[in-house]
C-alpha cells in the first residue's frame, strides 16, 4: 500500500515559535506538495518540489519555507508561527513520470496546527 | 488564471438515493484534466474519478460517474446508490495537460452527508 506519512496529526504552538511539519512518502515519487486547507477556502498550494533540493512557490508561500534534502522527505517550516497560520496542513506526492502520470495525488492524513 | 467553482457548500442525501455535485471551471486551455477527490472525516483525501478533456466519453468508476460538458466548462459528479461511507468532503480539481505535474487547482469543496 502506498503511503504518505505526516509526522504529527495535531500540534499546538505559541506565537513566534518555529514549527516543523514533516512528510515522508514511500513511493519513490519525485513530486511533493504542501497544501493548506481551511473551511470555505478549499486547498491552497504553499510550496512544491520536483526534485531533491528543488522548491517552487505555490499560491500562498508567505510565512513558510520548505526543505527537501532527501527524495522521500519534504518538510514545511514556519519560521515564526502566527495565529493566522492555524490550519490543517496536507502533504501530497505524485510521480514525476509524465508518460505514466494519471493526475493522482497521494495525500497524508494531515497535520492540524493550532497557534495560540 | 484557471479557477474552479463548487457552488454547493453542503448537501445531503438519503442512503440508496442518487446525488449530483456541481463543479464549473474557467480556463482558456483546450487540453486538461479534471478530478474529483474525496476526503472522509479525519481520513486522507483520495482520488475518486478523473476525466481527460480530449475524451468525449464521460468517466465512470462503479457508483461514481461524471457529466463533462466541455463547452459549458462544467464537470459534475453523480453518486448512485449512496452509501453511508460516501459521507465526506468532495473537491473538484483542475490541471493543465503538460503543466506542472500534480499542481492541481482545487475548488472550495462540497460537504456531503449521507443519511440513513
pLDDT in tens, B39-88: 999 889 999 999 999 888 999 999 999 999 999 999 999 999 999 999 99
Going by C-alpha positions, the residue among B71, B80, B76 that lies closest to residue B53 is B71
Q: What is the pLDDT of residue B80?
A: 97
pLDDT tens digits for range A30-81 = 899 999 999 889 999 999 998 898 999 998 999 999 999 999 999 999 999 9
- Cβ separation B45–A107 shorter than 8 A: yes
Q: Is the pLDDT of residue B108 over 60?
A: yes
Rounded to whole angstroms, the Cα distance separating B57 from B17 reads 24
- Cβ separation A48–B103 shorter than 8 A: yes
C-alpha cell at A79: 519560521
Q: Looking at beta carbons, which residues of chain B come within 8 Å of A42?
A: 6, 91, 106-109
Q: Is the pLDDT of residue A99 over 60?
A: no
Mean pLDDT of chain A: 92
Chain A, window 49-88: residues with a beta carbon less than 8 angstroms from a chain B beta carbon: 50, 56, 58
Rounded to whole angstroms, the Cα distance separating A85 from B4 reads 24
Mean pLDDT of chain B: 92
Amino acid at each position: 500500500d502506498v503511503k504518505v506519512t505526516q509526522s504529527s496529526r495535531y500540534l499546538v504552538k505559541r506565537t513566534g515559535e518555529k514549527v516543523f511539519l514533516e512528510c515522508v512518502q514511500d513511493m519513490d515519487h519525485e513530486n511533493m506538495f504542501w497544501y493548506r486547507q481551511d473551511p470555505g477556502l478549499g486547498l491552497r498550494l504553499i510550496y512544491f518540489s520536483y526534485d531533491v533540493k528543488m522548491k517552487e512557490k505555490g499560491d500562498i508561500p508567505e510565512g513558510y519555507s520548505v526543505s527537501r534534502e532527501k527524495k522521500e522527505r519534504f518538510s514545511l517550516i514556519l519560521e515564526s508561527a502566527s495565529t493566522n497560520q492555524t490550519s490543517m496542513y496536507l502533504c501530497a506526492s505524485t510521480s514525476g513520470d509524465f508518460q505514466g502520470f494519471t493526475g493522482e495525488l497521494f495525500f497524508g492524513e494531515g497535520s492540524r496546527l493550532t497557534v495560540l | 488564471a484557471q479557477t474552479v467553482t463548487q457552488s454547493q457548500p453542503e448537501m445531503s442525501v438519503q442512503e440508496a438515493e442518487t446525488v449530483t455535485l456541481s463543479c464549473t471551471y474557467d480556463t482558456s486551455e483546450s487540453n486538461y484534466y479534471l478530478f474529483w477527490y474525496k476526503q472522509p472525516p479525519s481520513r486522507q483525501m483520495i482520488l475518486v474519478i478523473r476525466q481527460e478533456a480530449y475524451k468525449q466519453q464521460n468517466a465512470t468508476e462503479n457508483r461514481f460517474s461524471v457529466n463533462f460538458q466541455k463547452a459549458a466548462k462544467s464537470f459534475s459528479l453523480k453518486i448512485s446508490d449512496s452509501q453511508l461511507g460516501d459521507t465526506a468532503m468532495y473537491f473538484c480539481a483542475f490541471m493543465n495537460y503538460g503543466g506542472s505535474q500534480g499542481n492541481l487547482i482545487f475548488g472550495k469543496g462540497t460537504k456531503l452527508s449521507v443519511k440513513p
